[in-house]
Structure 1
Amino acid sequence: MNFPVVEFPWLGNGTVIAIIAIIHVIVSHGVAIGASTLMVSLEYRGMKTNNEKLDGVARKFSKWILIITTTVGAITGVGIWFSTTVIQPDSIGSLLRIFFWAWFAEWIVFITEVVLLIIYFYTWDKFKGAKKVIHNRIGWALVIFSWLTAAIITGILSAKLTPGKWTETLSFWNAFFNPTYMPSLAFRTFIALMLAVALIAFLIKIFIKDKDLQKEVYKVFSFWTAISLPAILITGAWYLANIPQEAYDLVVWSTGMSENMFKIVNLLGLAAFLIFAFWMAKSPKKVPLILSLGVLVASMGFIAEFEMVRESVRKPYIIYNYMYANGTLAKDKEQYKEEGYLANSTFAKVKEVTEENKMEAGRELYKGQCLVCHTVDGWRDKRAFSNRLNGWTEDSIANYITTLHETRYFMPPFMGTDEERKALAHYLYNVVNEENQSTAMEGDQ
C-alpha cells in the first residue's frame, strides 16, 4: 500500500470504475466519434442532394453532440481517471510515468476537438452557399480529432494487456505501439460507428415522422453499417489473435456466462444487427420500431461486455507481466515473502504481525491485496467473501491462500510472510462469520 485505500464496501471498487467507464465509452465512442461521423455525413449528403431537411437533421445532431460531449463526456472522462487513480493508484502511477506525454497530447487534441465542435455548431448559419463546403470540412476535421483522441488513449489502454517489449526495454514506443494497438484501435473505430447507428436509429424512428426523410437518413446509416459490421468481426478476430493465450482463455469466464449462453447471447445480438442492416438497406421506410429498440439494447450489451472482457482478461495482472491486479509488482514477490508485505506498505497501520494485532494486521492485508476486486458482502455474490468463504475454517482459508493463484490462475499470488498469510485468514474468517451471523439474525427477525 503505497497510497491510502478507498473502499466502496457493498458496491465494490471495480463496479464503481465499470459504471463510469461504460458511460464514458458510450459517449466517447458512440457520440463523439460515431455520431459526429453520421452528423457530418448527413450534412454532406444534404449538401450534395440539396436536401434542406437532411441538413436540418444534421444540425439538430450538432446541438446534442455539443451538449453531451461537453457535459457527460467531459465529466465521465475526468471521472474515470479520478476513480481509477484513487482505487488503483499504483497502476495509474505507472501509466503516468510511461505515458505522460501521450496523456498531455491527448488533452491538447481533446481541447481542439471541443473548439472545432463549437465552431461547427455556431457557424451553421454563417456558412451558406459556396461556403457550405468549408463548414462540412470543419465537420470532417472534428471527426478526425475525435478519432485521434481515441487513437492516443487506445495506446495507453491496450498496453495494459499487451505491453510487448516494454517490460524489457522500458521504451515509450514499445509500450504505445504494442501488439494489440492497431487491432484494438480498428475494432474501437468500427464499434463507435455501429454504436452510433444503434443509438440514433431508434431516436430517428421516434422523432422523425416524415417517411421520406427517414429513408434519406437510413441510407446514410446503412452505408456506414455496411462498412462497420463486417469490419467489427474482422478486427475483433484480429484483436483476439494478438492477446496472450491465458487472456484468450478467460474471455467467456470474464462475462460471467456459461460457454453455451455466451454463444447464444452474442449470436442473437449479431443476428439482430444483420437483420437491421438488411432492413435499412432494402426498406428504410419500414424499419420496425421494435427492431430499432432491439439493436439499441444489443449495442449497449456489447459495449458493457467488451469493457468487462477487456478489463477482466488481464487477470491476474492489471499491467500484464508487470503489476498484479491488486497493485503489487510481480518482481517483489520474494522480497515480500522475506521482509513482509506490511513492512513495505507506506500506509499500513501495523508493520508486523503479533497475537495482539492479528485482526488489525489481517484487515491491512485485506485492504492491500483483496479489496480492489473483492468485498466482504455486496451485490456480486461471486466476489463477496461472506458467500465464497461461508463454512470454511480458519485453517482451510489459510491453506487456500497459499495456492490460490494455482487453483484459480486468474488470481494474484499472496505476497507476504506465513504470519501475514495466517493473519489475513484470521481476519477473513472472523468478518465472514460476523457478517453471516448478522444476516441470520436479521432473517429471524
Structure 2
Amino acid sequence: MNFPSIDFSWFGNGSVIALIAIIHVVISHGVAIGTIALMVTMEYRAHRTKNLALDALAKKIAKWVLIITTTMGAMTGVGIWFSTTVIQPDSIGALLRIFFWAWVAEWIVFITEVVLLILYYYTWDKWQDGRAKARHIKLGIVLAFASWMTMAIITGVLAAKLTPGLWVETHAFWNAFINPTYLPSLGFRMFLAILLAIALLSFFIRWRVKDVALRQEVFHVFGLWGAISLPAVFVLGLWYLWSIPTDAYDMIVWSTGMPENVFKTLNGIAFAILIIYLIWMIVKPKAVPWILSLIVMGSSVAFIGEFEVVRESIRKPFIIYDYMYANGLLEENREKYDEEGFLKHATWAKEREITEDNVVDAGREVFIGQCITCHTVDGWRSKRSLTNRMDGWTEDDMTSFIPTMHNVRVAMPPFMGTDEELEALAAYLSTEINGKRTNKKEVSQQ
C-alpha cells in the first residue's frame, strides 16, 4: 500500500470504475471511432452520387460527434483517470511508469483529433465545391485515422494488463506494448467500434429520418461496413480468445455471473439478431423495423458492458498479469510480507505495530491495503459485500479461511502478512460484520 486509497463503500469501488468505463467505451468506440468512419463514408458517397440530403445528414452527425466527444467523451476519459487513480493507485502508478511516453503520445493524438474534428465540422459548408470538397473528404479520412490511432495506443496499454508477455522478465517498453494480445485486441476493437456505431446510429436514423430514399442510402453504407465488420469481429475475437492465458479463458463465463447455458444462449441470440439485422439492412433498407433497431442498439450496448466487465475480471487475481495482484500488491513481495509483515511496508498505514489496544484498527489498515479495492463491508453487490458473504463467521473461521482463500476462489489474491496481521484482519471484520469480536470460545459461552 504505497498510496492512500478511497472507499465507495456502498456502491463499490469496482462498480464506480465500471460505470464510468462502460460509458466511455461506448462513446470512444461507438462515436469517436466507429461513427466517424461511417460519417466520412457517407460524405464520400454523397459527393460521388451528388446526394445533397445525404451530405447534410452526414454534417448533422458530425455536429453530434463533436458535441458528444468533447463533453461526455472527454469527461468520462478524465473520470477513468480520476477514479482509477484514487481506487487503484498502485496499478495506475505502475502503468504510468511502463507506458509514460505512450500516454504522452496518446494525449497529443487526442488533441490532434479534437482539432481535426473542429476543422472538419466548421469547414463543411466552405469546402463544398470541386477540389475543396475532395480536400474536405481527405480531412475526414485523416480525422478517422487520428481517432483510430488513439485506440491503437490505448489498446497496447489495456492488452498488456492481461498479457504482459516478456515484459515481466525484461521490463522493456516494447515487450509490454507489442504483447501477445495486442494485434487481435486492436483488430477486434476496431471492427467492434464500427458495429457499435451502426447499432447506435441505425435506431436514430430509423426514428428521425422520414425520407425513405435517404434512409436507404444511409443503410446501404451501414450494410457494406457491417458485412465487413461482423465476420472480422468473429475471426479476430477467436484469435483474441486463443491468445489469452488458459486460466483467464476459464474465467470468462464465471465473470459474467451467469450459468454457462444462459451465457451461451443470450450471446448466441444477440449474435443471430445482429446477423438478421445486417442482412435486412442490405436486402430491404427501406423497410428496417424500428423495434429491431431499438433491440440491436440495446443489445450492443449491453454487449459492450459485458465485454468490459469480462475483460477486467478474467485478469484476476491480478490487475497486471503475473506481476501485480488486484489489490495493488506485487507478486514478488509475498514472501517478504509473510516474514516481515505487511503493515511495516504499508506507507500510508496509520498503525504499524499491533497491540491488544489497536488490533481492530490495525486490522482495518490491513483491510484497506488488501481488500478494499474489490470488497465492501456492506453494499448493494452481495457477492462483494463481506457482511453478506461472512455473516455469522467467527474470528477463528476467518483466520482459518483467509490464508487458503486464493485456492478456493481463484479470483482472490493471496493474503500477505504475518499471523498477527491475519488475526487483526479477522478481528476487524468480525467487529464490522457481527458488531463485536467473536471467537469459538466466546460463541460457546453465549
User: What's the TM-score, normalizing by structure 1?
Assistant: 0.97
Cα distance in 1 for residues equivalent to 2:69 and 2:333? 42
* Aligned positions of 1:9-24 closer than 5 A: 9-24=9-24
Q: 1:78 maps to what in 2?
A: 78
> Structure 1 counterpart of 2:216, which letter?
K
Secondary structure of the 2:319 match is strand
Matches within 5 A, 1:301-320: 301-320=302-321
Measure how far apart 1:410 and its partner are: 1.5
Amino acid at match of 1:265: L
Distance (whole Å) between structure 1 residues aligned to residue 5 and residue 100 of structure 2: 24
Q: 1:232 corresponds to which letter in structure 2?
A: V
Displacement of 1:199: 0.3
Alignment of 1:61-140 (within 5 A): 61-130=61-130, 131-140=132-141
Question: Partner residue of 1:414?
Answer: 415
Match of 1:42 in 2: 42
Contact 1:340–1:352, Cα closer than 8 Å, also in 2 = no
Aligned to 2:26: 26
State the match for 1:368 in structure 2: 369
**Structure 1 unaligned regions, length at least 5:** 436-445
Partners of 2:349 and 2:301 in 1: how far apart? 41
After the TM superposition, list the runs of 4 or more consecutive aligned residues in structure 1 that deviate by more than 3 angstroms: none
Distance (whole Å) between structure 2 residues aligned to residue 316 and residue 353 of structure 1: 28
**Partners in 2 of 1:137 and 1:192 — Cα distance?**
21
Q: 1:352 aligned to 2:345? A: no
2:352 alignment partner AA: K
Hey, what's the Cα distance between the residues in 2 that align with 1:244 and 1:389? 31
The Cα offsets for residues 360-396 of structure 1, whole Å up to 9 and x where unpaired, read as 0111111110100001111110110011001212111
Is the 2:252–2:314 contact (alpha carbons within 8 Å) kept by the matching residues of 1? yes
Q: Which residue of 2 aligns with 1:57?
A: 57
**What secondary structure is seen at the aligned counterpart in 2 of 1:347?**
coil
Where does 1:137-156 land on structure 2 (aligned, <5 Å)? 137-156=138-157
Distance 1:349 1:322 in 2: 27
Q: What is the rounded CA distance, in whole Å, between the counterparts of 1:433 and 1:140 in structure 2?
A: 62
3-state SS, counterpart of residue 383 of structure 2: helix
Supply the AA of the counterpart residue of 2:67: I
Aligned residues: 435
Q: How does 1:107-256 map to 2 (within 5 A)?
A: 107-130=107-130, 131-256=132-257
Matched, 1:4 2:4: yes
Distance 1:434 1:67 in 2: 51
Matches of 1:5 and 1:46, distance apart in 2: 53
In structure 2, give the amino acid aligned to 1:105.
A
Q: 2 CA distance for matches of 1:259 and 1:433?
A: 35
Tell me the equivalent position of 1:442: none
1:409 positional shift: 1.4
The one-letter amino acid paired with 1:148 is M
Partner SS, residue 204 of structure 2? helix
C-alpha RMSD over aligned residues: 0.8
3-state SS of the aligned residue for 2:351? coil
Matches within 5 A, 1:367-406: 367-406=368-407
Secondary structure of the structure 2 residue equivalent to 1:15? helix
Residues 270, 299 of structure 2: 8 Å contact kept: yes
Contact 2:5 2:89 in 1 (8 A): no
- How far apart, CA to CA, are the structure 2 residues paired with 1:434 and 1:57? 62
Preserved contact between residue 184 and residue 236 of structure 2 (Cα < 8 Å)? yes
Q: Judge which range, 346-355 or 171-180, deviates more.
A: 346-355
* Offset, 1:434: 2.9
SS at match of 1:238: helix
SS in 1 for 2:435: helix
- Counterpart for residue 295 of structure 2: 294
- What amino acid is aligned across from residue 106 of structure 1 in structure 2? E
Checking the alignment, whether the CA contact within 8 Å between 1:43 and 1:54 is kept in structure 2 is yes
For residues 100-150 of structure 1, the C-alpha deviation after alignment (integer angstroms, 9 at most, x for no partner) is 100000011001101110110000111122111110110010000000001
Residue type matched to 1:233 in 2? F
The Cα shift of 1:354 comes to 1.4
The CA deviation at 1:302 is: 0.6
User: CA separation in 1, counterparts of 2:208 and 2:294?
Assistant: 14
Give CA deviations for 1:210-245 in whole Å, capped at 9, x if unaligned. Answer: 111110000000011101111111111100100000
Once the two structures are aligned, what percentage of the paired residues are identical?
61
**Structure 2 segments unaligned to the other structure (5+ residues):** 437-446
